[in-house]
Amino acid sequence: MTPAATCYQWHAMKRGTVAGLAILYVLGSGLVGFLDPTTTDLDLFFLPSAQVAAGGQPLHIYAVRQLTNVAAYANANGPLSLFPLAVVSWLGAHLGWLGQTRWQHFLATSVFSILSLLMAREGVVATDRLRGKPLTGWRRISAYALLAASPLLWLSLIGYGHIEQALEVGLILLAVRTLVGRRHAPAGIAMGLAILARTSAVAYAIPLALLVLIRRGPRQAALMLAGTTVTVAIGLLPFLVADRANVVFSLLTSHGDLPVGQGSAWRVAQGTSFESLAQHADSLLVLLAASTISITVLLRRPDLDVDSTDLYALLAAVGVCLPFLSKTTWSYYFFEPGVFATVWWLARPSWRRFRSWWPVAFLTGCATIAEAATGTANSMIGIGESLLAAVLLLGFIVVFAGRLAMRPT
């Protein structure tokens, strides 16, 4: 056999192995979803909305409500993830699986685990670029495992049925990669799609837009902002025209009607004048904190640019503002900052050292505390766990973002 034939055979075997592992991952994810029949947001919001779309009314997906004694809960995220889920819903209907929780979970988890793999690939591509050479062997496998099989991902996808988060993070990573290639309008489009996947992605647009403005000038920042704005407008306009009241309620006003809930340090403000601030302005506080951290770090670190490893540390620090300041904190809120912290960790030359991996371990631990607080939400133990998580997150922001602002990490 010639060397060329041997090389071809080796690459074919390698591609087959990768494809086999991907299939095992997808089927394994579906199996885990099948084995967990717990009712999640997938069953309460995402699937009912997708069924509306699959039933011939795709522009009325925001009419879905979950009414409780406390408030009317709505799907507060963009429509992007609902398009593939509508296909899943249509397929489930033809297979006779609608209403069968286990089989619905199997289908949805299997399909959206593909997006988890694509997100992991973007993370590994970013790591290769930042390190200057591709990861190989067990290190590459480990990188994929840390991104595609992390406890934070399983909490999000399996534990809470949030199918949109991996899609959102993958698009943010794509936006950064596009910015590295100095394609500002396409980067804005990717960021707009991320916002259409999950509304909280707006917080991650802040450091990226400020970075482009400060490092590359107002023209490039305007191109990126235009790409984001036009994409979001095109994505939402048909829904606004067809069902304006429900869209505005779901995406804008419903959040203000929700009370201060579990896992949040704002619970100590219940019954005080600060409760109204927490209930109606927590999202604005998150964006304000994200802006403050971004401006501080970018002004103090003129070396930090779109091709810097520390950009992912900045994204992780910004991401922690949501679980820290939100009036209700769920464990899956730690998924996005956990992914960015993982990319930062993998891209560092001293990746085995404690100073490289501690943020990922810390965020996973905080998610564990938040999850524990869920089961004891109305007790003093739950309030104590919420306060502990808040103190830890404040410490993380001060230490991690502060060190990031002072010198390269």
Phi, psi of 73, deg, nearest 5 = -95, 135
Could you tell me which of 332, 315, 82, 313 has the C-alpha nearest to residue 201?
315
Angle between helix axes 165-180 and 335-347 (nearest 10 degrees) is 40
H-only helix segments in 249-334: 254-257, 274-300, 310-319, 321-325
Which residues span the domain enclosing 394? Answer: 259-409
pLDDT tens-digit map of 317-352: 999 999 999 988 899 999 999 999 999 999 988 777
CA distance 150 to 291: 28
8 Å CB contact between 333 and 322: yes
pLDDT digits (tens), the chain, 409 positions: 566 556 656 556 667 777 888 999 999 999 999 998 888 999 999 999 999 998 889 999 999 888 666 677 888 999 999 999 999 998 888 888 877 889 999 999 999 999 999 999 999 999 999 999 998 888 899 999 999 999 999 999 999 999 999 999 999 999 999 999 999 999 999 999 999 999 999 999 999 999 999 999 999 999 999 999 999 999 999 999 999 999 999 999 888 888 887 777 777 777 777 778 878 888 999 999 999 999 999 999 999 999 999 999 999 999 999 999 998 889 999 999 999 999 999 998 877 777 789 999 999 998 988 888 776 656 666 677 777 888 888 889 988 988 898 877 6
* First vs last C-alpha separation in the chain: 50
42 is written with which tokens?
Answer: 């997938």
Which residues, listed in sequence order, are joined to residue 65 by a DSSP beta bridge? 74
Q: Is 178 a domain residue? A: no
8 Å CB contact between 327 and 270: no
Q: Which residues contact 330 (CB under 8 A, 6 or more apart)?
A: 160, 263, 323, 370, 374
CA distance 202 to 66: 25
Angle between helix axes 184-197 and 218-248 (nearest 10 degrees) is 20
Q: Is 275 a domain residue? A: yes
Mapped onto helix, strand or coil, the DSSP state of residue 66 is strand
8 Å CB contact between 147 and 124: yes
Transcribe 153-185 into DSSP letters.
HHIIIIIS--TTHHHHHHHHHHHHHHHHTT-HH
CA distance 303 to 292: 18
Phi, psi of 356, deg, nearest 5 = -90, -40
Side-chain half-sphere CA neighbours of 146 within 13 A: 25
CA distances from 235 to 222, 229, 231, 241 (A): 20, 10, 6, 12
Q: Is 227 a domain residue? A: no
329 is written with which tokens?
Answer: 């904190």
Phi, psi of 223, deg, nearest 5 = -60, -45
CA distance 347 to 408: 13
Q: Is 268 a domain residue? A: yes
Q: Is 377 a domain residue? A: yes
CA distance 191 to 188: 5
As for how many domains the chain has, the answer is 1
Judge if pTM exceeds 0.85: yes
pLDDT tens-digit map of 136-192: 888 899 999 999 999 999 999 999 999 999 999 999 999 999 999 999 999 999 999
CA distance 8 to 16: 12
How high is the pLDDT of residue 360?
A: 94
| Residue 9 identity | Q
Q: Is 405 a domain residue? A: yes
Which residues, listed in sequence order, are joined to residue 73 by a DSSP beta bridge? 66
How high is the pLDDT of residue 166?
A: 97
Q: Is 90 a domain residue? A: no
Could you tell me which of 255, 379, 395 has the C-alpha nearest to residue 324?
395
